[in-house]
Amino acid sequence: MEIILSLAIGIITASGVWLLFRPRTFQLAIGLSLLSYAINLFILAMGRLKMDAPPVVDKVAEANPAAFADPVPQALVLTAIVISFATTALLLVLLLAARGLTGTDHVDGTEKTP
């Protein structure tokens, strides 16, 4: 489980970073989205991996913290997902505006030949 998750985070991050360094605005948007997925997984992992454990403490049963998953990272991930969704949407609008105004989808707004 741990190795699968860490591999997944690593591969997604690597792809995201690679895309981030590409010159097209669409690649930038996808790169940032991939990175945000990787980081959401990372936050979840920081609350320790636990199978079949509820995050909500049962009132009736004896409260044994070891039997429950940490609820805080889950709450953090939810917030982070919402925020990154909103900023990605904003970025997409900006990409379209930049494409319309500059006539190119290069991140610098001009096509430069190396």
Partner 1 sequence: MSPADHLVIAPILLPLLAAAFMLVLSERRRWLKRLISLATLSALAGVAIALLTMVDAPGGAPLAYRLGNWPAPFAITLVVDRLSALMLLLSASIGLCTLFYALARWDRAGPRFHPLFLLLTMGVNGAFLTGDLFNLFVFFEVMLAASYGLALHGSGVERTKASLHYVAINIATSLLFLIGIALIYAVTGTLNMADLAVRVPVLAGQELVLLESGAAILSIAFFVKAGMWPLGFWLTPTYAAAAAPVAATFAIMSKVGIYAIVRLSALAFGPASGLAAGFANEWLMAGGLATMAFGAIGMLAASRLSGIGGSYILLSSGTLLVATGTGSAPVLAGALLYLVSSTLGVCAMYLLIEPVERAADIDREAAQRQSEPVFEDDEPGLLMEEYEAEEEEDEIGIVIPATIALLGSAFIFCALLMAGLPPLSGFIAKFAIIDGMLSGLPAMGTGGWTAIAAILLSGLATLIAMTRAGISLLWVPVDRPQAHLRVVEAMPIALLLALCLALVIGAGPVTRYMKDTAAALHDPGRYAGAVLDPALQPPERRR
- The burial class, CB within 10 Å (0-12 / 13-18 / 19+), for 50 is middle
By CB under 8 A, what part of segment 45-74 binds partner 1?
46-47, 72-73
Residue 25, Cβ neighbours under 10 Å: how many?
Answer: 22
Total residues found in the chain within this entry: 114
Between 7 and 72, CB nearer to partner 1: 72
Integer Cα distance of 85 and 79 in angstroms: 10
Between 8 and 95, CB nearer to partner 1: 95
Binding mask 28-47 for partner 1 (x = CB under 8 A): x---x--xx--x--xx--xx
CB of 104 to partner 1, least distance (A): 11
Determine if 87 is a binding residue for partner 1 (CB under 8 A): yes
**Is residue 69 classed as helix, strand or coil in its secondary structure?**
coil
For the chain, where are the alpha helices, taking DSSP H only?
2-20, 25-46, 71-102
CB of 11 to partner 1, least distance (A): 16
Find out whether 108 and 25 touch, Cβ atoms under 8 Å. no
Residues in touch with partner 1 (CB under 8 A): 20, 25, 28, 32, 35-36, 39, 42-43, 46-47, 72-73, 76, 79-80, 83-84, 86-88, 90-91, 93-95, 97-98, 101-102, 107-109
